[in-house]
Amino acid sequence: MVWPATLIGAAAGFALASIPGALLGGLLGHVLDRRLQLDSWSALRARLGGNPAIDPQDLLFILLGRLAKSDGRVREAHIQQARSEMKRQGLDEAGTRRAIAAFNRGKNGGDDLHGSLSKLKDERMTVERLLRSCWQMAASDGRIGKHERELILQWGRWLGFSVQQVEALGAGYDTPQGLPPRRGNSYKDALNLLGVTADCEPAVIKRAYRRLLSQSHPDKLAGSGASPALVRAATERTRELHSAYSLIRERHGFR
């Protein structure tokens, strides 16, 4: 027997209508997640064009505001870090007012950030600066909380970075106190600090040393508006990297 299309449609509509609202929402959510790879209804709205992309001028301060409020309370250190970022960018009075409004907007958490961040995937330098600024905000009160870390890692994925790449950008801040850890002076400690092993080729050791030195250089942090405490910690870490590299180079016999 062939059922008319109208009867099939009516039957389907009746079946859906008979499903309780909460259960129906769960079923639809499962379909959205599996078929469209969306993680929220706001992401669906963005996919359908309902949420326009956030102006790049506002995006950074929206992110910083959301980080500052992620544990429920904005501290003075967060506000000072936001001001440092405004100063680093050389904002005029109008630009500063706009940045403050974006920061407050971020604290409210009403924006869907997925679409706006995804549009920056091809702008690697912009993405790296953005994520570094986020790590600085997260560490500005002396510690990086669980929610702050989760937000930054999620934003990094939306920006096209792996977890390892995002964490590497936070290497100068990503410790319980937001400061680089102190290390010993042994050969084993030196290898661990550079993230290499005793059987690595000299070229691999040199690349690891230069990469870490670039990430933790105090001049770079000072130029990006980092707090004095973070700059001092970066200076100490730079000395440790120099010492570790000299020890490894002497042991392996290369220049």
pLDDT digits (tens, 9 = 90+) for 40-83: 444 444 444 445 668 877 999 999 999 999 988 898 888 988 98
Q: Please count the other Cβ atoms lying within 10 Å of the Cβ belonging to residue 38.
A: 18
- Identify the band that residue 191 occupies on the pLDDT scale cut at 50, 70 and 90: confident
Is the domain spanning 56-169 CATH 1.10.3680? The answer is: yes
Q: Evaluate if pTM is beyond 0.75.
A: no
pLDDT for residue 223 is more than 90: no
The CATH code for residues 187-252 is 1.10.287
- Identify the band that residue 155 occupies on the pLDDT scale cut at 50, 70 and 90: very high
56-169 and 187-252 share one CATH topology?
Answer: no
Instruction: Taking residues 144-162, report their average pLDDT.
Output: 91
Per mean pLDDT, which range of 23-37, 57-71, 221-235 is the poorest? 23-37
Domain ranges of the chain: 56-169, 187-252
- Identify the band that residue 226 occupies on the pLDDT scale cut at 50, 70 and 90: low
CA-to-CA distance for 194 and 252, rounded, in angstroms?
14
CA-to-CA distance for 39 and 160, rounded, in angstroms?
16
